[in-house]
Structure 1
Amino acid sequence: MIYITGDTHIPNDIKKLDECNFKEQVELSKNDSIIITGDFGGVWSNSKEELYWRKWLQDKSFTTLFVDGNHENFDLLNKYEVKEWNGGKVHFINDSIIHLMRGQVFNIEGKKFFTFGGAESIDKYNRVEGKSWWKEELPCKEEYEEALDNLYKNNWEVDYVITHTASTELMEQICWVKENNPLNSFFSMLQRDLKYKHWYFGHFHDDIEIDEKHTLLFEKIMNI
């Protein structure tokens, strides 16, 4: 089984995955997954509280997968060794918390998932670089190139797209006009040229079924 939900901002929104809110977990095993669409927040400062929540997730019946958002500590995240998992590059935060890196195509339960985290912090001017904001929140040239190469290898066809932010067109549909950067434009190209069944994203702190192929998630937990 594969479930998906929005930002967890550990510790602020992680309790959506407790037994009261996510009752289905009693029937899951470590072979089952829940995907977080960015702003995981569990690799931020290595504080005692943060380590508690990582252990809390590790003790759950399921495996936690996440793409990065804009609110991540990329200095810490990028210290983890890059490994291969299900066909793509990952960081293992622990045995059952896995960061799905940008531009990868994973085979999970027989389905292809294209992942590409990152987004722009519109409040970055009120943050401190290297402490509460990192320029790596937006992709570099090499990450775009790797994404295109992996999509080419998969004939530009996947089952699911998992991102943090969205295309320019999708942002217009949810009336969000505060971002306009190369990542949004890249996603506009993918929305036009990539064949996929469904695209899930977070970032905008709402739950909206935009249309039959695009879903914005925050608090809702969906079964794929």
Structure 2
Amino acid sequence: MIYYVGDIHGRVDDVAAIDRAAIKAGVEVVVQVGDFGIRWAKNCPIVKYFKKRERQQRPGPTWYTCGGNHDNWPEWARLQKEQGNGKMVELAPGCNYVVRGATTKLDGKTHLFFGGAESIDKSLRVEGTTWWAEETPSAAEFQRFFDSLVEDAPEIIITHEAPLCVELNRTGRGTQPTPRNLQNALKHSKHTPERWYFGHHHILQSWVVNNIDFHCCGFHGEYQSSWGGLYDVGPGANQSRLHADADGEPHLDHALQGSQVEAYEEIIELHKTYGGD
């Protein structure tokens, strides 16, 4: 079984909580769908966590990420050049970035990875410090994604953004390069993947579109499993489910009490305020 984890934004406590949940469930692979925040800046707490996990020989799943719009792409490119691997980059011990358009087999299924998206808040950020132009894939990278989709026939696709066929109420999304080009690749490919996992929009929700199961993996401790469960191991979550209604409004699946209710209300308010992107 695999856990498909939503946007983390550098929150090391969420990484540790997901590790604990994975160990308890016997899960050996975690796939993170971008906006990880690992190596965002020097002295990254997530890197320290994985190094400590290795040093202490603690158990834990192997992590893989596609990268999002809020990730430090130049730093990841530097590591890729340093390591000389065209498909996979070690970001920390037991934590890897799968290069755009590369495939790897996980739990018996071929996964095609393709990170990146467009930030709607880039005017509020500082280029080279909190925003990088490489968030949008290049034409060559989009071509590699299409070629891998056709030639490798992956069962599973991992992206940060979703193609336009997944209808999400986000201003300007229809004109952004990444969702448009993902849609074009899907349209012109004769291969139909089984499942497609993505992040960016900060909701736990699933759709079936053109015989493909699409899954948005939430954020800040939320994740989906390869057998269909939706979970949140964020503050006070206690493995309870939080997902979005058809209208995009998040709600609790069942009654919670005390601090759990407060924690979930905080998550919902953050979702409404922060939105996605």
TM range (shorter): 0.7 to 0.9
Which residue in the other structure is 1:135 paired with? 133
AA aligned to 1:53 is Y
Structure of larger gyration radius: 2
SS at match of 1:213: strand
Q: Distance in 2 between matches of 1:164 and 1:48?
A: 21
- Residues 3 and 22 in structure 2, CA contact (< 8 A), matched pair in contact too: no
Which residue in the other structure is 1:182 paired with? 177
What is the CA distance between 1:142 and its match in structure 2? 1.7
Structure 1 residues 57, 181: closer, same or farther in 2, change over 3 A? Answer: farther
AA aligned to 1:116 is F
AA aligned to 2:197 is Y
- Residues 28 and 61 in structure 1, CA contact (< 8 A), matched pair in contact too: no
- Asked whether 1:103 is paired with 2:101, we answer yes
- Asked whether 1:200 is paired with 2:197, we answer yes
If the length of structure 2 is used for normalisation, what is the TM-score? 0.69
AA aligned to 1:80 is L
Structure 1 residues 190, 146: closer, same or farther in 2, change over 3 A? Answer: closer
Q: Distance in 1 between matches of 2:162 and 2:32?
A: 15
Q: Choose which of 153, 159, 164 in structure 2 pairs with 1:163.
A: 159
What is the CA distance between 1:221 and its match in structure 2? 2.3
What is the CA distance between 1:167 and its match in structure 2? 1.4
Which residue in the other structure is 1:220 paired with? 222
What is the CA distance between 1:119 and its match in structure 2? 0.4
Q: Distance in 2 between matches of 1:20 and 1:201?
A: 17
Counting matched residue pairs gives 213
Q: Distance in 2 between matches of 1:109 and 1:176?
A: 33
What is the CA distance between 1:96 and its match in structure 2? 0.5
What is the CA distance between 1:27 and its match in structure 2? 4.7
Q: Distance in 2 between matches of 1:17 and 1:67?
A: 16
SS at match of 1:221: strand
- Asked whether 1:210 is paired with 2:210, we answer no
AA aligned to 1:221 is Y
State percent identity of aligned pairs. 26
SS at match of 2:79: coil
Q: Distance in 2 between matches of 1:136 and 1:178?
A: 19
AA aligned to 2:30 is I
SS at match of 2:170: coil
- Residues 47 and 91 in structure 2, CA contact (< 8 A), matched pair in contact too: no
SS at match of 1:78: helix
Structure 1 residues 221, 45: closer, same or farther in 2, change over 3 A? Answer: same
What runs of 5+ residues in structure 2 fail to find an aligned partner? 227-277
Which residue in the other structure is 2:236 paired with? none
- Residues 204 and 223 in structure 2, CA contact (< 8 A), matched pair in contact too: no
What runs of 5+ residues in structure 1 fail to find an aligned partner? none
Structure 1 residues 57, 69: closer, same or farther in 2, change over 3 A? Answer: farther
Deviations 1:111-149 (A, max 9, x none): 111111000010111111111111100011221222223
Q: Distance in 1 between matches of 2:68 and 2:111?
A: 17
If the length of structure 1 is used for normalisation, what is the TM-score? 0.84
Which residue in the other structure is 1:89 paired with? 87
Give RMSD over aligned pairs.
2.4
Structure 1 residue ranges (4+ consecutive) displaced by more than 6 angstroms after TM superposition = none
What is the CA distance between 1:55 and its match in structure 2? 3.1
Q: Distance in 1 between matches of 2:7 and 2:59?
A: 18
AA aligned to 1:66 is T
What is the CA distance between 1:210 and its match in structure 2? 2.5
Deviations 1:69-113 (A, max 9, x none): 0001112111113555xxx70111133100011111212232111
Q: Distance in 2 between matches of 1:140 and 1:208?
A: 29
Q: Distance in 2 between matches of 1:103 and 1:123?
A: 26
- Residues 38 and 44 in structure 2, CA contact (< 8 A), matched pair in contact too: no
